[in-house]
Amino acid sequence: MNFRRHRHREEPEINFIPLIDLLLVILIFLMVTTTYARFSELEVNLPQASGPAEMQKDSRLRVDISASGSYAVDGEAVAGSDVTQLGERLKRQAGGKSPAPVVVINADAKASHQAVVTVMEAARLAGLLQLTFATQQGTP
């Protein structure tokens, strides 16, 4: 006996309406919580030099650093590479001039960074707080 002959069975179907509602809620949540990074550029206006091109010769001390790490103050070699020795030499060369001379660091391109930092520390110990670096102008 077949009791189910007259019953018509419906095909199952997927209801997409709740899925679309869920996706819209997730989309709104993501749009609200997302932070948009703005990359801003910093415009820098560099000053133009209008003063004399060279400083006066008597108001500067030139410290040369060779590629091997040896030092020379105003062309005279400094024995040893100790910070205190170099500081004493700079203090002696400055000689208590009323405007403290500017220390011009002229380092070889292959000199170590530590050698340059040593000169900067020696100048600080000598009380010479104005430093500058000598550069070469490249050819275009």
- CATH code for the domain of 98: 3.30.420.270
Q: What is the mean pLDDT of residues 53-82?
A: 79
Does 52 map to a domain? no
Which range marks the domain in which residue 75 is found?
Answer: 57-133
User: Sorting pLDDT into bands at 50, 70 and 90, what band is 58?
Assistant: low
Does 71 map to a domain? yes
pLDDT at residue 28 is higher than 90: yes
Q: How many domains does the chain have?
A: 1
pTM: 0.56
Contact assessment for residue 66 and residue 73, using Cβ atoms and an 8 Å cutoff: no
Q: Going by DSSP bridges, is the β-strand pair 102-107/76-77 parallel, antiparallel, or unpaired?
A: unpaired
pLDDT at residue 121 is higher than 90: yes
Does 15 map to a domain? no
Does 76 map to a domain? yes
Share of the chain above pLDDT 70, in %: 76
- Residue-wise burial string across 127-139, b where 16 or more C-beta atoms lie within 10 A, e elsewhere: ebeeeeeeeeeee
Does 100 map to a domain? yes
